[in-house]
Amino acid sequence: MNLGSAENDLTAYLPVRSLVPIVEAVRAETASSAETYDCARLGTEIEKVLKNRPLALPDIQQSLSDLAGSLRRLAAKFAIAESSPTKIADQASVYGGVLPAVETEVIKGHVVYDSYFRVCRFDPMPRGMFSRQIGLTLAAAVDELRRCGLSIVHIGDMLAASTLALGTIAANNAAPSSSMGAAVRSSDDALSSTRNPSETAFYRWRNGHHVFALFSIFCRYFLECGLNAVTRQKFDELCGHVNNATVALRGTTAAMWYAADFPRPIYEKEVRPSMETQHTPQGFSGTQNFDYERLKEARDLLHASLVNTLGRRLKRWPKDAGESYLEFKEVELEDMENHILIAAKMVGRGASIFASKDRGGDLPPAPPAVDMLRDMAAVKVQQLQALLAEE
């Protein structure tokens, strides 16, 4: 695997560890990078347009093209030295070194899931690699936003989460580059025009999962920062971290829609079979998505800490903290509701790959994926109602 091929083969190089211990090092890497500032500023400008004017996608085509170009300049700023082929190949050891208490079969699931979606993990991350990956992944997605079927709302949510990610890694003293606003090369238009429908589907499926992973990593980061704020009784800081986690979580929802922005027949005939052939310990499943599982872990730890510190009823919490957390929980429920809609779009009343795995003739039919997701949504509704209860 050649690190220099990441833009063309959609390989994503991501950390295993939380961003908490490494974010300052990443900011130090971008201290001399005006490109990070440029990308964040362009994303914010487009986001403001989307929030304040009714418009059609053609109205922001040039702005999206400029943003994609700036993101590629950001990626190009960080030249990555080739890493040891052994380090790239032995992904189970990378996971195991960071997560010694996690069962081997669970790690195998993460490795197979990563392999399918072309994700390679590093610990530690080589200098500049994470910043470069943000640029490459978001540039590929922004290119596709110019021609995919996402709503203006979902495009805005992706851009808001992208801007938040860029702003988080940007050094405070970064300044705009001299090329800010200059014409940029039109990213991968030539390549996209040669893709057939199947290639476009797989491109969006994989890149969309990479975007989802990035936003999950940042959502986890802000949830962990929120946990630290609760521990220190800094509830004003808590609100900012929870608000940022909400923005990142909305970005994951939009990334799901982007990843699934292709016709159902292609999913049924090509994409789903490609996942069914993966040799996972217990079938191919979203529970093997490492970054989302760690996000959920951080979410649960923050929730437990808040309840233990402030009580089980939001009305007894500090007003701002309660409002911020309520919005996060509402968006979490909306995220599940969107997941249900995407599953219905792609599989109808069909079962998930995981539920269909190795079912013999003596077993009842696997339950529909949408019903399993609805059950999960019902649990989230109950949790939210418990927080809002008067007594």
User: Whole-model pTM above 0.75?
Assistant: yes
Quote the pLDDT of residue 80: 64
Domain for residue 301, yes or no?
no
Three-state secondary structure readout of 279-329: CCECECCHHHCHHHHHHHHHHHHHHHHHHHHHCCCHHHCCHHHHHHHHHHH
User: Is residue 295 situated within a structural domain?
Assistant: no
Whole-number pLDDT of residue 6:
42
Domain count for the chain: 1
Q: How far, in Å, CA of 294 to CA of 16, rounded?
A: 10
Whether residue 146 lies inside any domain: the answer is yes
pLDDT at 10: 81
Q: Which residues have C-beta within 8 Å of that of residue 6, sequence separation ≥ 6?
A: 12, 13, 132, 133, 136
Q: Which tens digits make up the pLDDT trace of 97-114?
A: 999 999 998 999 999 999
- Structural domain contains residue 205: yes
> How many CA atoms within 13 Å lie on the side-chain side of 228?
11
Residue 82 in 3-state DSSP?
A: coil
Q: Give the residue ranges of the chain where pLDDT is below 70.
A: 1-9, 31-33, 80-89, 171-193, 278-283, 357-362, 391
- Percentage, residues of the chain above pLDDT 90: 66
The pLDDT value given to residue 186: 44
Kindly state whether residue 10 falls inside one of the protein's structural domains: yes
Q: Is residue 376 part of a domain?
A: no
User: Does some domain include residue 356?
Assistant: no
Q: Flag whether 74 is in a domain.
A: yes
Per-residue model confidence as pLDDT tens digits over 347-384: 999 988 877 766 555 677 889 999 999 999 999 999 99
Give pLDDT, residue 294. Answer: 96
Domain with 111, as residue range(s), is: 3-287
